[in-house]
Chain A
Amino acid sequence: KAGVTQTPRYLIKTRGQQVTLSCSPISGHRSVSWYQQTPGQGLQFLFEYFSETQRNKGNFPGRFSGRQFSNSRSEMNVSTLELGDSALYLCASSLDGSLEIDEQFFGPGTRLTVL
């Protein structure tokens, strides 16, 4: 099986712009989670989508949004970019998300740099 893929791998934007990141989960996986990884904050949960619905949400401002399509692919959007948004954005997929032990597979990440 192909792993979780994310595009683009690297992105450079300027403050005020917006960006859309894409994540394709492992085939058959219906849950996609997004994380922001920064050196100072580690990995922080952004949100999780399951069956095209946002099921869980972390403590991020409304500038961060996402969606999931019927094929489980997910996109994350960040509007009005700030310098502090520079980070590695990871998505992770899992089969269902409601099992007792649901292994989560992460993608390679998109490194976003905001100038």
Chain B
Amino acid sequence: GENVEQHPSTLSVQEGDSAVIKCTYSDSASNYFPWYKQELGKRPQLIIDIRSNVGEKKDQRIAVTLNKTAKHFSLHITETQPEDSAVYFCAAITGNQFYFGTGTSLTVIP
């Protein structure tokens, strides 16, 4: 089956700096890669996603890049704000199955 690895497990940045979270996957059949943000005590929420036929997607301060050849995708958050502090999960989808990364706990230091 699919194996998704996510790094780093924890990340601390100063407010205003950028944060990058990376994921790798193993199954070349995976064709959809969502990112979820989970704030403390709240449900994970999809923040951005990318399909296998797209190399990059942006949404305001958040961007995701996908390298199908290398089987890795990354989440980029620019101009970080304290409210960006949360756990971020990547996922790779194969068929109907979601394979999640282990999560990155991002702390934005004011």
Residues of A within 8 A of B (CB): 31, 33, 39, 42-45, 48, 56, 88, 90, 97-104, 106, 108-109
Contact = CB atoms under 8 A, between A and B. Distances in A.
Interface of B: 32, 34, 38, 40-41, 43-46, 49, 51, 87, 96-98, 100, 103
B34 A106 contact: no
Given A43-B46, A99-B41, 18 more contacts: A42-B34, A42-B46, A43-B34, A43-B49, A45-B43, A45-B46, A48-B43, A90-B96, A90-B98, A98-B41, A100-B87, A101-B38, A102-B43, A102-B44, A103-B100, A108-B96, A108-B97, A109-B96
A92 B34 CA distance: 15
A88 B96 contact: yes
B43 A56 contact: yes
Contacts, number: 41
A42 B96 contact: no
Contact of A100 (B41, B45, B51): B41
Contacts of B97: 106, 108
B46 A44 contact: yes
6 contacts: A42-B49, A45-B46, A97-B43, A101-B103, A102-B43, A104-B100
A48 B87 CA distance: 19
Contacts of A103: 100
Contact of B45 (A31, A45, A98): A45
Contacts of B34: 42-43
A99 B42 CA distance: 8
Given A42-B32, A42-B49, A43-B34, A104 B96 contact: no
A31 to B, nearest CB: 8
A88 B44 CA distance: 19
Contacts of A108: 96-97
